[in-house]
Amino acid sequence: MHRTYTIIIVTWNALSHLKTFLPSVTETDYPDFEIIIANNASTDGTKEWVQDHYPDIRIVTFSENFGYCGGNNRASDYATGEIIVFLNNDVEVDPDWLKNLDNAFDREQVAAAQPKLKACADPDSFEYAGAAGGYLDFYGYPFCRGRIFDTVEKDTGQYDNPEEILWASGAALAIRKNIFYTMGKFDEDFEFHMEEIDLCWRLWNRGFEVVCEPASVVYHLGGGSLPVGSTRKIYYNYRNNLIMMIKNLPEKKVFIRILTRLILDGISGLRSLLKLKPMETAAIIRAHFAFYGQLPGSLKKRRELQKVRTSSGDPSVMLNKSIVTEYYVFGKKTYMEIMAEEN
């Protein structure tokens, strides 16, 4: 029996993206789904265009721009499907993507899933933001099956097996609605970036699983909200990574791993300085001070999360070594190379 789905697309002054990518979503070949446009106070005619061209789509307009986290959190209150798919406004989908993604939820312990993400500009390659599923290393660095740091692989079918992953990309994240509510939705302290990793880590800590279903394929443009290399993106990535670690690391390992990560961040800032990119260094420093400023609130959230977690250790899918060392010291550029010794 098929499950019911609500596809939520957050948008802010991106009518051109909706015109390009929404048609493929509306042509999804699945018997029971609805689309909600979460309109973050757009002033570019988004509401009127959607109403004129897709009157069956529900459009929820907010009075201000609540960003990815806030827009999705608020729009989820209007969802009627059993499973919510948070889909970026710059994602094109195959007709059968939802039918194939639905297979991931046959097992009750699976709380969230993502399709295979490929690049719109180069459909033979994985897409940076999610590829074939996301992971974290021992020190909180994210990477993907199909993308390690800036090395993005061609898709030759090497990751076509469904797998447990640590995190599903926010570009196309499907999650059971009741569990999304139980988890407290996205943490709006994150604003941009890594909110989906935080959510999925919390899922693992509560005994749920996250998977990638590669038979489901979508194509992501990417880089729309914060372009790769922008100092604002660097700031959010460094700050949010530390917040996420403070919230979710096991009790016995939190201090030493946060300390190690702070040192690694310092080395990264020095590296940027030596590469004559002082603005990157400044963004990392600002991120650290922002992290310290938010530390009391993050620790309060940690205490609440520790009370309800059912797993005392790391997620089983966390890489028990440094991805930085594997990539930069040992020259392992692909997921398969890095995981060869693990398997």
Residue with the two structure tokens 């194509």: 219
- CATH fold of the domain at 5-220: Spore Coat Polysaccharide Biosynthesis Protein SpsA; Chain A (3.90.550)
Q: Tell me: pLDDT of 227 over 70.
A: no
What pLDDT does residue 192 have?
79
Mean pLDDT score of the chain, rounded to an integer?
Answer: 94
Tell me if residue 157 falls in helix, strand or coil. coil
pLDDT tens readout for residues 84-106: 999 999 999 999 999 999 999 99
Q: Contact 248/190 with Cβ under 8 angstroms?
A: no
Give the strand pairing for 83-87 and 172-176: antiparallel
* Cα dist from 252 to 69, 295, 319, whole Å: 30, 18, 17
Residues 6+ apart with CB under 8 A from 199: 112, 167, 175, 183, 185, 186, 187
Give the Å distances, CA to CA, from 43 to 14, 19, 67, 158: 10, 15, 15, 43
pLDDT classification of 15: cutoffs 50, 70, 90: very high
Q: pLDDT tens across 140-156, in order?
A: 999 999 999 989 999 99
DSSP string computed for 186-197: S-GGG-SSSHHH
Residue type, 242: L
- Using 50, 70 and 90 to split pLDDT, how confident is the model at 8? very high
pLDDT at residue number 226: 53
Tell me what the mean pLDDT of segment 217-245 comes to: 84
What pLDDT is recorded for position 35? 98
**Please, which pLDDT band fits residue 341 given cuts at 50, 70 and 90?**
low
Q: Which amino acid is at 155?
A: D
pLDDT at position 223 is 61
CA 227 from centroid of its chain's CA atoms = 16
Q: Do 78 and 90 contact (CB within 8 A), yes or no?
A: no
The answer, yes or no, to whether residue 342 has pLDDT greater than 80, is: no
User: What pLDDT, on a 0 to 100 scale, did the predictor assign at position 279?
Assistant: 94
What is residue 229's predicted lDDT score, i.e. its pLDDT? 64
333 pLDDT more than 90:
yes
Rounded CA separation 131/133 (Å): 6
Residue 120 confidence class, pLDDT cut points 50, 70, 90: very high
> CA 115 to CA 113: how far, in whole Å?
7
Tokens of 22: 């929404």
Separation between Cα atoms, residue 262 and residue 287, nearest integer Å: 11
Residue 36 has pLDDT above 80, yes or no: yes
φ and ψ at 303, to 5 degrees? -60, -40
pLDDT for residue 254 is more than 80: yes
Q: How many residues does the chain have?
A: 343
Whole-number pLDDT of residue 190: 92
* Cβ(189)–Cβ(297) below 8 Å: yes
Burial class (CB in 10 A: 0-12, 13-18, 19+), 29: exposed
How many Å apart are CA 306 and CA 149, to the nearest integer? 30
pLDDT value at position 70?
95
User: Of all residues in the chain, what percent carry a pLDDT higher than 70?
Assistant: 97
Q: Which residues of 263-295 are buried (b: 16+ CB within 10 A; e: fewer)?
A: eebeebbeebeeeebeebbbbbeebbebbeebe
Q: What is the mean pLDDT of residues 274-297?
A: 95
Quick one: which of 28, 38, 35 has its CA closest to 65?
38
Backbone angles phi, psi at 11, to 5 degrees: -145, 150
The answer on pLDDT for 225 being more than 60 is no
pLDDT at 198: 98
**What pLDDT, on a 0 to 100 scale, did the predictor assign at position 2?**
80
What is the pLDDT at residue 228?
Answer: 57
pLDDT in tens, 160-212: 999 999 999 999 999 999 999 999 999 999 987 899 999 999 999 999 999 99
Q: In what order do the strands lie in the sheet with 134-136?
A: 134-136, 142-144, 147-148, 151-152
- Estimate to the nearest angstrom the gap between the alpha carbon of 260 and the chain centroid: 24
Q: What average pLDDT score do residues 224-245 get?
A: 83
Signed CA dihedral, 223, 115, 121, 147: sign only: positive
CA 4 to CA 30: how far, in whole Å?
9
pLDDT of residue 222: 77
Domain coordinates in residue numbering, the chain: 5-220, 231-312
